[in-house]
Structure 1
Amino acid sequence: MHINRDYITMLCSLVKIGELEETEKLLTEWELSCDRHDFRVPNALLIGYCEKGMIENAEEMLRDIVKRGKTPIPDSWYIIAAAYLDKDNMEKAFECMKEALAMIVMHAISSMQFRNMVNSLFQKHGLLKDEILRNHVPLFEVSEWMRNSDLQFSVGDRAVQLNLIGRVRGLEAAESYFNSLSDEDKIDKIYGSLLNCYVREGLVDKSVSHMQKMKEMGFATRAINYNDLMCLYKSSGQFEKVPEVLSDMKKNGISPDSFTYRICMKAYAERSDLSSVESILQEMKSQPNITMDWISYSAVANIYIKAGLKEKALIYLKKCEEKISKDAVGYNHLISHYASLGNKDEMMRLWGLQKTECKKHINRDYITMMGSLVKIGELEETEKLLTEWESSCHRYDFRVPNVLLIGYCQKGMIENAEELLRDIVKRGKTPVPNSWSIIAAGYLDKDNMEKAFECMREALAVQAENKIWRPKSSLISSILNWVRDNRNVDEVEAFEKSLKNVIPENKEM
């Protein structure tokens, strides 16, 4: 007879060759014969669905199993949460992570597993980056839920939590959390997280003072702490102080990492000191602990592109390409750089190479390539690429057509943009509000307030598709002023009411 291990192997093999229908049949066969519901078996099909972009099918299947009285393991919900996160559906990702947490508590499993789940999501999707995290508050709520439950936090977890509190709730809340910790819990990582909060807020004096305290306590032992200060000086325009931090690192026996050198090169570039850029690059290449990667060569190429030195840029773009090796993100960076140089031939060559090396193009790749084509004015090629994407996509991600909508509007072809979006709607797709907002802004630029108002109403009507969407205040202000001057009281009140969902409570309309 076949045991669970055999079914898992066969199911995974069928998934690998894309035979989901056969996988479904085999799962049914297993369910009819199994004595105990081992969720590792259906998890194989959940993974298969998610890899094909059929996340709704995966969730429907798991909820059906639950209805039949089975209790999933946390991993089952995590598989689906991660897939929703890949699709940028934060609401569903949050919902599934809560289900995973409920299973952790129900099964009385060690909190380590759930911590690893949350942390892996943060790291994989770069959610510890400011501009991204602020749009993904639900994941912070998951972390908060975890902290307030019976799960035990390690000191390392508290460092992550402190960082998240600072990013989502602000500096005062972060300092309050820091002060609530015992002295023994305030290790180097906790101090480092608070330093990161000060840096993010642009508080130079406070950051320098805190860093000095870390040095006195023996906590400033990692490159990341010095990198934070470098970023602060760079963002505040104090470029001359960045190399000073590098010197301080060396004096204190801290080995610079790749990020350290890249920040330093960018600071020199801001001062148009390209000879120092080259010197830092050579020093970086000589370090035994640093492996030169495509990211570093991409950064140098970008410096020369901005400086208008095309030939120098091309040298480093070639070095960058040599280091990519099946990295789709690397190809996207290269394509963007060649777009900045207006080199369509190289863009198309790399697009084809990316597909060959990385097996397939995903939404992110189409967004990059289409954005690059728009940048060089190739709208016809962008239209072709959108058609190609539509013929192969499993889920309609409006970030992709939005690239072409922006391209049309930048060229003053706002009617084309509206026609494209309305055609997509006719095909049964529900846009995200930003799609309509793009066109509203286009009409505003043309002083066609009637159409701008119409499109903004369309955006507000689909706001439920992206509850964290916030339109630009200047766009809302211009349209609202026009509405108040040109529409009757009922229309004004209706429009103002619809705006309450997208305008922060502390802002006046």
Structure 2
Amino acid sequence: MWALRRASTPLRNQGYKVRTSYVFGKLEVPFFWEGNVAGFGTTTALSDRFISFERNNLATWPSAGVYISSHGLSTQAGAENSGEEDNVKDGFSELDETLPSTSPLEDSKAADDNEEELTSGSEIDDDDDNAVDDGTQNELDLLEGETGLAEKKSTKRGPSELFNVIWKAPGLSVASALDKWVSEGKELSRADISLAMLYLRKRQMFGKALQFSEWLEASGKLNFTDKDYASRLDLIGKLRGLRMAENYLAKIPKSFQGEIVYRTLLANCVIASNVQKAEEVFNKMKDLEFPITAFACSQLLLLYRRTDKRKIADILLLMEKENVKPSRFTYKILIDAKGLSNDISGMEQVVDTMKADGIELDFDTLALLAKHYVSAGLKDKAKATLKQMEEINSQGSRWPCRILLPRYGELEMEDEVRRLWEICESDPHIEECMAAIVAWGKLKNVQEAEKIFDRVVKSGKKLSARHYSTMMNVYRQTKMLTKGKELVNQMAESGCRMDPLTWDAVVKFYVEAGEVEKADSFLVKAVQQNKKKPLFATYMTLMHHYASRGDVPNAENIFDRMRRLGYMGRFTQFQTLVQAYVNAKAPAYGMRERMMVDNIFPNKALAGKLAQVDPFRMTEVSDLLD
């Protein structure tokens, strides 16, 4: 039996209770199920929820229990469409997300909440508390084992002539460019098509990739398989939203509506943080009797790591019952969940279980561990892990520098930063430059960061908003507001359009300079003019500040704007909103009911704050004082 999850009480005929000491392997569930469901009219503790195995359904009930089965997964949680997460640095995710189908901005492409994902690559773009993923390589790995092979081939061959034709085609003219190319007698092999599609995805040229896919089917140049249909569905999900992706799935020939197509739709639901839709798709897959795979379960683990960590245990139970062996991806999600909850001991226990399962630590997993050691202030462990990462790279490849540089910067190891930069300095890639800028920014060495950024600007390469945001965050961290504003002007003059990541940097700039109202006004105008969706963290920056000064009206306003854009009631949103009422010493009428609607349950700390702003309790105290 899989050792990752053990119950603290023995299995009974019809189920067993999950208590506070509940563990998977030796991994205690972080800060879940403490005490009673505070303030919700029940004395039933979440730690005593009854879990029963049945084959027809899996439903989560606030107090009655969690029912796990092999055919269904449903919840009363509200949908959480968080928008298109343009960047997925999770080596997993990370991810392109879609706006909710009810949003007037549905067709826009915006970055999602910046929750720290699981890969090392994200840190080069932004501050750790605002890391946004850049690609979808792991979480949406449609070919899973085949992707590695394709990447090896692409490394040897480089971008193909076919890719260059698509890349150079202006706007929506990919089809005509390809027609002309074929009319010249060029032949198309599946290998050429796969390689071109891989490069389009790696460069996030999803619009052209979709045009390419549409042309292939319309021209009959490729006999579509289930993987080709899955690829098209994924691109539609990225660019046009979940609703259009579902519509496309219904049009796929029945014989090709297999597990990989539904798996792709599930991954897109996770990208969008749409809990309800993800669970519906998972249910559908089980109803169709597709095998329960580590990939599908890992997608739900990734989703619950963001939205409701209490449900992680439920998925682990399901995996154990169905004898689903956890993958490396599964372990990385659990490592990240432990690290994010600052449970370093638990994180290390996950690593031990992973090793015992025969999965060795690779570079990315070590990078993940290093990130959490740094965040926890465990410098010695972080340094040892970084050195281990360098030993793995004994062949001397340069690419790990972009991951190692920011970490050494955080650890204030200037000699190591300088050593690594000297390796790249003679002919640096742009991402190595960005990593070095982040590292020097952590060391408060603005002069070195500026020198590298100026070099990038003068290189003649077209810079994206992400690159400007990297330098802007250096100015933000060093409180250099004037230079930050100058950089924004420089960015505008270069013709580079600001994106949600840049908005986030500007908003934080203004907030940290004490100009909160200007930050809020800037964000409102940015959304109106660009029709894109700001990052989750951008709104939370404003909301945290309003809460800290007890500004309930503005905190509620931010909360409402987030909901209208699809950021549906998450724990951190309610936690911050309640803090606004606490600081204002104002009663929060109906707060418990609002949380129940979104299936959000308070932990011990939040329950205490809710008690402080309970309007009836406050009235009783006031009467006594009078």
**Is the TM-score greater than 0.5?**
yes
Aligned-partner Cα distance in 1 for 2:330–2:503 = 39
SS of equivalent to 2:345: helix
1:207 match: 278
Q: Which range moves more in the overlay, 178-187 or 429-438? A: 429-438
2:596 match: none
Counterpart of 2:181 in structure 1: which amino acid? M
Counterpart of 1:121 in structure 2: which amino acid? Y
2:439 match: 372
Gaps of 5+ in 2: 1-153, 537-563, 566-626
Pair 1:315 & 2:384 matched: yes
Q: What's the CA shift for 1:381?
A: 1.2
Aligned-partner Cα distance in 2 for 1:420–1:297 = 35
Q: What's the CA shift for 1:297?
A: 0.6
2:220 match: 150
Rate the CA distance shift 1:272–1:75 in 2: closer, same or farther, 3 A: closer
1:384 match: 451
Counterpart of 1:340 in structure 2: which amino acid? E
Q: What's the CA shift for 1:260?
A: 0.9
Number of matched pairs: 372
Q: Deviation per CA, 1:315-338, whole angstroms, max 9, x where unpaired?
A: 222222222344544221111122
Counterpart of 1:228 in structure 2: which amino acid? Q
Aligned-partner Cα distance in 2 for 1:285–1:159 = 33
Aligned-partner Cα distance in 1 for 2:173–2:440 = 37
- The TM-score with structure 2 as length reference comes to 0.50
Is the 8 Å Cα contact of residues 406 and 442 (structure 2) preserved in structure 1?
no
Within 5 Å, give how 1:468-479 maps onto structure 2.
none
Pair 1:432 & 2:496 matched: yes
Q: Deviation per CA, 1:221-274, whole angstroms, max 9, x where unpaired?
A: 542211111111111132x43254345334434332221101011122334433
Rate the CA distance shift 1:368–1:180 in 2: closer, same or farther, 3 A: same
Pair 1:284 & 2:358 matched: no
1:259 match: 329
Counterpart of 2:428 in structure 1: which amino acid? H
Is the 8 Å Cα contact of residues 262 and 285 (structure 2) preserved in structure 1?
yes
1:76 match: 161
Q: Deviation per CA, 1:40-92, whole angstroms, max 9, x where unpaired?
A: xxxxxxx9xx99xxxxxxxxxxxxxxxxxxxxxx953524656x7xxxxxx85
Is the 8 Å Cα contact of residues 225 and 256 (structure 2) preserved in structure 1?
no
Of 463, 466, 475, the residue aligned with 1:397 is: 463
Counterpart of 1:338 in structure 2: which amino acid? Y
Q: What's the CA shift for 1:115?
A: 3.4
Rate the CA distance shift 1:276–1:406 in 2: closer, same or farther, 3 A: closer
Q: What's the CA shift for 1:298?
A: 0.8
Counterpart of 1:317 in structure 2: which amino acid? L
SS of equivalent to 2:400: helix
Is the 8 Å Cα contact of residues 336 and 372 (structure 1) preserved in structure 2?
yes
Q: Deviation per CA, 1:15-41, whole angstroms, max 9, x where unpaired?
A: xxxxxxxxxxxxxxxxxxxxxxxxxxx
Rate the CA distance shift 1:75–1:341 in 2: closer, same or farther, 3 A: closer
SS of equivalent to 1:249: helix
Q: What's the CA shift for 1:123?
A: 4.8
Rate the CA distance shift 1:406–1:233 in 2: closer, same or farther, 3 A: closer
Q: What's the CA shift for 1:153?
A: 2.3
Q: What's the CA shift for 1:438?
A: 9.6
Aligned-partner Cα distance in 2 for 1:101–1:306 = 53
Counterpart of 2:463 in structure 1: which amino acid? D
Within 5 Å, give how 1:175-186 maps onto structure 2.
175-186=246-257
Is the 8 Å Cα contact of residues 246 and 260 (structure 1) preserved in structure 2?
no
1:360 match: 427
Aligned-partner Cα distance in 2 for 1:242–1:448 = 37
Rate the CA distance shift 1:410–1:97 in 2: closer, same or farther, 3 A: farther
Within 5 Å, give how 1:27-38 maps onto structure 2.
none
1:294 match: 363
Aligned-partner Cα distance in 1 for 2:413–2:226 = 50
Q: What's the CA shift for 1:379?
A: 0.6
1:163 match: 234
Rate the CA distance shift 1:433–1:298 in 2: closer, same or farther, 3 A: same
1:121 match: 199
Aligned-partner Cα distance in 2 for 1:348–1:319 = 19
Gaps of 5+ in 1: 1-46, 52-73, 85-90, 128-132, 475-505
Aligned-partner Cα distance in 1 for 2:373–2:489 = 42
RMSD: 4.5
Aligned-partner Cα distance in 1 for 2:288–2:533 = 46
Q: Which range moves more in the overlay, 321-330 or 368-377? A: 321-330
Identical columns (%): 22
Pair 1:188 & 2:259 matched: yes
Pair 1:241 & 2:341 matched: no
Aligned-partner Cα distance in 1 for 2:535–2:410 = 30
2:62 match: none
Higher-RCO chain (CA-CA 8 Å, sequence separation at least 6): 2
Is the 8 Å Cα contact of residues 434 and 469 (structure 1) preserved in structure 2?
no
Is the 8 Å Cα contact of residues 243 and 264 (structure 1) preserved in structure 2?
no
Is the 8 Å Cα contact of residues 409 and 442 (structure 2) preserved in structure 1?
yes
Counterpart of 1:278 in structure 2: which amino acid? E
Aligned-partner Cα distance in 1 for 2:192–2:245 = 23
SS of equivalent to 1:312: helix
Aligned-partner Cα distance in 1 for 2:534–2:265 = 31
Aligned-partner Cα distance in 1 for 2:457–2:322 = 55
Rate the CA distance shift 1:107–1:301 in 2: closer, same or farther, 3 A: same
Within 5 Å, give how 1:460-471 maps onto structure 2.
none
Of 201, 212, 230, the residue aligned with 2:301 is: 230
Counterpart of 1:385 in structure 2: which amino acid? I
Q: Which range moves more in the overlay, 228-237 or 276-285? A: 276-285
Is the 8 Å Cα contact of residues 196 and 228 (structure 1) preserved in structure 2?
yes
Q: Deviation per CA, 1:177-219, whole angstroms, max 9, x where unpaired?
A: 2222333221111121222233233333443343244245442
SS of equivalent to 1:195: helix
SS of equivalent to 2:325: coil
Aligned-partner Cα distance in 2 for 1:469–1:114 = 36
Aligned-partner Cα distance in 2 for 1:272–1:473 = 24
Aligned-partner Cα distance in 1 for 2:533–2:263 = 34
Is the 8 Å Cα contact of residues 163 and 196 (structure 2) preserved in structure 1?
no
SS of equivalent to 1:434: coil
Is the 8 Å Cα contact of residues 457 and 463 (structure 2) preserved in structure 1?
no
Q: Which range moves more in the overlay, 176-185 or 432-441? A: 432-441
Rate the CA distance shift 1:317–1:438 in 2: closer, same or farther, 3 A: closer
- The TM-score with structure 1 as length reference comes to 0.60
Aligned-partner Cα distance in 2 for 1:251–1:117 = 39
Is the 8 Å Cα contact of residues 305 and 312 (structure 2) preserved in structure 1?
yes
Rate the CA distance shift 1:397–1:340 in 2: closer, same or farther, 3 A: same
Counterpart of 1:369 in structure 2: which amino acid? A
Q: Which range moves more in the overlay, 308-317 or 101-110? A: 101-110
Rate the CA distance shift 1:433–1:215 in 2: closer, same or farther, 3 A: closer
Is the 8 Å Cα contact of residues 163 and 199 (structure 2) preserved in structure 1?
no
Is the 8 Å Cα contact of residues 363 and 397 (structure 1) preserved in structure 2?
no
Of 378, 402, 412, the residue aligned with 1:342 is: 412
